[in-house]
Structure 1
């Protein structure tokens, strides 16, 4: 990322970029507030940086320049999605259906995630052909190099798997489940 030493500040300061990330990629820095004070069982600090339309939140974890990014859904699942903020931006822009890749992961099977990503990419291009243009604009503005879909899926898989036993996300409602969903891609009737 070459355009700014602080990409989060750049997003917050650029209204057009804020709207593009929100509208096209469900990454809205204006939704960084949280009602329940979330925490990790390990005690590492969390900083809310964005939210999505379903009540999910993105958090920077720990301290220092390379902070892992956590995602906590509004349905009670949470986990690491990227090694740092730049990788998280590359994920949400390059793989806008990343949540569905996890939903149809058959409990974390990389082959299932790859199959789901293939179907999801096809569906995205059919239903929203303008998404490619939005991806290009966001990547250009942020100075991101968008990796190929299979690479992004593999990075997401590795990030979610990287959480250790002390990496349990908690808030006022209790402990959250992990991000890998139970469904195989064959569960979606449109993909048979």
Structure 2
């Protein structure tokens, strides 16, 4: 079975959409500072965003590993249980970083801002999902799952700034 990372690299439109509005670039995998997981589990940067944030796979394995996101300001959160779940989130709600309450109303407001700038967002998103073979959940379900992962199992994935031994701040609070 072909990996999703390979599929994104092969599908130009998928890579373009994930880069923007998804702010997810497979060519930006180096984090700006030394970090490790408090648990000692493996940490592998595999993508980044335009503001210096990094997406990490946690533990051993392949694309099914938990995904932790660390921004460049000292915040981090476990955001998905595997790459398929992460890509669903990025396709459905690329504005996830701006969500604070995870309500449908907040998400609609953020979506409206994106749609004002990119009226074809939904059509492009649907084309990318089809090209990658990803079934998309409802927006509310994707955001609820993000919150569930970050505030549930995510509590066991504490990112440490290695030089000072200090934990990153939680990006998503329960």
**TM-score, normalization: structure 2?**
0.87
Counterpart of 1:6 in structure 2 is 3
Q: How does 1:72-83 map to 2 (within 5 A)?
A: 72-83=70-81
Q: Aligned ranges for residues 11-30 of structure 1 at < 5 Å?
A: 11-30=8-27
In the TM superposition, what is the alpha-carbon distance from 1:15 to its structure 2 partner?
4.4
State how far apart, in whole Å, the 2-side matches of 1:116 and 1:181 are: 16
Q: Any conservation in 2 of the 1:79–1:163 contact (CA below 8 Å)?
A: no
- Structure 1 Cα separation of the partners of residues 53 and 96 of structure 2: 13
Q: Which protein is richer in strand relative to its size?
A: 2
Cα offset, 1:168, TM superposition: 1.5
State whether structure 2 residue 147 is matched by structure 1 residue 157.
yes
Whole-angstrom distance in 2 between the partners of 1:28 and 1:164: 23
Q: Distance in 2 between matches of 1:160 and 1:181?
A: 8
Query: What is the CA-CA distance between 1:38 and the residue it aligns to?
Result: 1.8
2:109 corresponds to 1:119: yes
1 CA distance for matches of 2:75 and 2:47? 16
Q: 1:166 deviation in Å?
A: 4.5
5+ residue gaps, structure 2: none
Equivalent position of 1:178 in the other structure? 170
Tell me by how many angstroms 1:16 deviates. 4.5
Aligned to 2:169, the other structure's residue is in SS state coil
Partner of 2:122: 132
- Distance, in Å, in 2 between the alignment partners of 1:39 and 1:83 is 18
CA RMSD for the aligned pairs?
A: 2.1
Structure 1: 5+ residue stretches without partners: 106-111, 183-192
Would you identify which runs of 4 or more consecutive aligned residues in structure 1 move more than 6 Å? none
**TM-score, normalised with respect to structure 1:** 0.79
Structure 1 distance, partners of 2:46, 2:127, is 21
